[in-house]
Amino acid sequence: MKDVVKIFDTTLRDGEQVPGCKLDTKNKLNLAIQLDNLGVDILEAGFPISSPGDFESVIEISKNVKNASVCALSRANEKDIEVAAESLRHAIKPRIHTGIGTSDIHIKYKFNSNKDAIIELAKRSVSYAKKFVEDVEFYAEDAGRTDNIFLAKVCEEVIKSGATVLNIPDTTGYCLPSEYGEKIKFLKENVKGINNVTISCHCHNDLGLATANSISGVINGARQIECTINGIGERAGNTSLEEVVMIMRQHPNLNLDTNINSKLLYSTSQQVSDLMGMPVQPNKAVVGSNAFAHSSGIHQDGVIKKRETYEIIDPKDVGVDKSSIILTARSGRAALAYKMKEIGVELTKVQLDSVYQEFLTLADIQKEVSERDLPILLDKQNIKHG
């Protein structure tokens, strides 16, 4: 039996913080329903104290989301927590996500404070949030750059105050996967009460390591990953939901899985991209337009013979109809014959040889030879077609 890693989606909070990605309540709600159908376990709906619009969005999402826990972000102060609790009052499963920076640099420069005072604030905010909801997640902001011994102390104290989930964010995307994994392991081994709570990975992508760090976290005992669709988020973004989900699915030896219906990944990715006006990079893992496209002759020949020669994911598993063969000047005869067959033309070997020369001339001029070009190639060689 595989262990379940909970998926905490923060597309509507950390993802929406990207300049230009702000959504109004109607669009946030539509996306929240899609994410709920996708099967996320926790949906971070917003940061309610930040604006009346965000407060309103969290209320509407709380009223309408039926399966996922609905979570609202707050800082470690009473006013933030009260507003978060108020915005969650209709949620079936409400969660307050409160916390404070724990790294030396945050303590000194952001708060002009000291370690003892930070622990006090952390404890007080968790205890205060517990007055409103049972499920309280604590984030130790910049945990990635926080000394492990101090981090363990903070974690132990907030567990005593009632935290149900400990979020260990690599806020600046600094950690190496080995370091981040060791951090989680250290907490697992050194924090009293840790086995009664869930450890959560929240990784940013400043060095392109967010996904690797999150996976390292769950290998070392975390059981929740905080992520966004398409990996959108502050600066270089957050851990990409579709990547961590498919890594766990494609690697059965990890013995980990999620509750995500992966067949909805592609449509959800498209919806987020459309609503937020953020194009998905073509080479984006799992959901990019080139993720299942093959254009070089060697790969095309292999894929046509057996898809698995160059694909480790069945496109249908993520909601993409099929792999695609793209005709370019790097394509071979096998791909051309395959595409001709798709338009109903079976070429003999001799015909294929002659059309292929014609094809190469065109492919050197155009970046891509499309289906519309195929009849023209056939006409040039006087080959009959429908």
Amino acid at the residue 385? H
The binder of 167, among Zn ion, ligand KIV, none, by C-beta within 5 to 8 A per type, is: ligand KIV
Per-residue H/E/C for 295-317: CCHHHHHHHHHCHHHCCCCCHHH
| Residue in the block written with tokens 């409400």 | 94
| Residue in the block written with tokens 């669009």 | 27
Between 276 and 291, CB nearer to Zn ion: 276
> How far is it, in rounded angstroms, from Cα 257 to Cα 246?
9
Token representation of residue 360: 């190469």
Query: Using CB atoms within 10 A of its CB, is residue 233 exposed (0-12), middle (13-18) or buried (19+)?
Result: buried
x-marked contacts with ligand KIV along 201-240 as a string, rule CB under 6 A: -x-x------------------------------------
The binder of 220, among Zn ion, ligand KIV, none, by C-beta within 5 to 8 A per type, is: none
Q: How far is the CB of 281 from ligand KIV (least distance, A)?
A: 22
Using rule CB under 6 A, residue 141 touches ligand KIV? yes
Token representation of residue 280: 């998905």
The binder of 139, among ligand KIV, Zn ion, none, by C-beta within 5 to 8 A per type, is: ligand KIV
Between 139 and 266, CB nearer to Zn ion: 139
Using rule CB under 6 A, residue 139 touches ligand KIV? yes
DSSP state of 343: T
> How far is it, in rounded angstroms, from Cα 72 to Cα 58?
7
Residues 238 and 210: beta-carbon distance below 8 Å: yes
The binder of 87, among Zn ion, ligand KIV, none, by C-beta within 5 to 8 A per type, is: none
Count of chain residues binding Zn ion (CB under 5 A): 1
User: How does strand 42-46 pair with strand 69-75?
Assistant: parallel
Which range of residues in 9-17, 46-54, 310-318, 328-336 is near Zn ion by CB under 5 A? 9-17
Between 13 and 294, CB nearer to ligand KIV: 13
Between 14 and 242, CB nearer to Zn ion: 14
> How far is it, in rounded angstroms, from Cα 64 to Cα 26?
12
Using rule CB under 6 A, residue 171 touches ligand KIV? yes
Outline where the chain has alpha helix (H).
25-38, 52-64, 78-87, 104-105, 115-130, 148-160, 177-190, 210-219, 241-250, 265-276, 297-305, 333-342, 349-365, 374-380
Residues 28 and 59: beta-carbon distance below 8 Å: no
Work out the angle between the directed axes of helices 333-342 and 297-305 (0-180°, nearest 10): 50
5, 7, 14, 286: which one binds ligand KIV (CB under 6 A): 14
Between 86 and 206, CB nearer to ligand KIV: 206
Using rule CB under 5 A, residue 14 touches Zn ion? yes
Query: Which residues sit opposite 27 in a β-bridge?
Result: none
Token representation of residue 129: 């949030």
48, 94, 169, 181: which one binds ligand KIV (CB under 6 A): 169
The binder of 240, among ligand KIV, Zn ion, none, by C-beta within 5 to 8 A per type, is: none
Which range of residues in 166-174, 278-286, 330-338, 377-385 is near ligand KIV by CB under 6 A? 166-174
Token representation of residue 242: 């579709």
Q: How far is the CB of 345 from ligand KIV (least distance, A)?
A: 55
Token representation of residue 220: 């070392």
Q: For 267, phi and psi rounded to 5 degrees?
A: -65, -35
Q: Per CB under 5 A, which of residues 24..43 are in contact with Zn ion?
A: none
Q: How far is the CB of 123 from Zn ion (least distance, A)?
A: 22
- Which residue in the shown chain puts its C-beta closest to Zn ion? 14
Token representation of residue 192: 């009293």
Q: How far is the CB of 202 from ligand KIV (least distance, A)?
A: 5
Between 198 and 296, CB nearer to ligand KIV: 198
Q: How many CA atoms lie within 13 A of 261 on its CB side?
A: 11
Between 135 and 301, CB nearer to ligand KIV: 135
Count of chain residues binding ligand KIV (CB under 6 A): 8
Which residues are at the interface with Zn ion (CB under 5 A)? Answer: 14
Which residues are at the interface with ligand KIV (CB under 6 A)? Answer: 14, 139, 141, 167, 169, 171, 202, 204
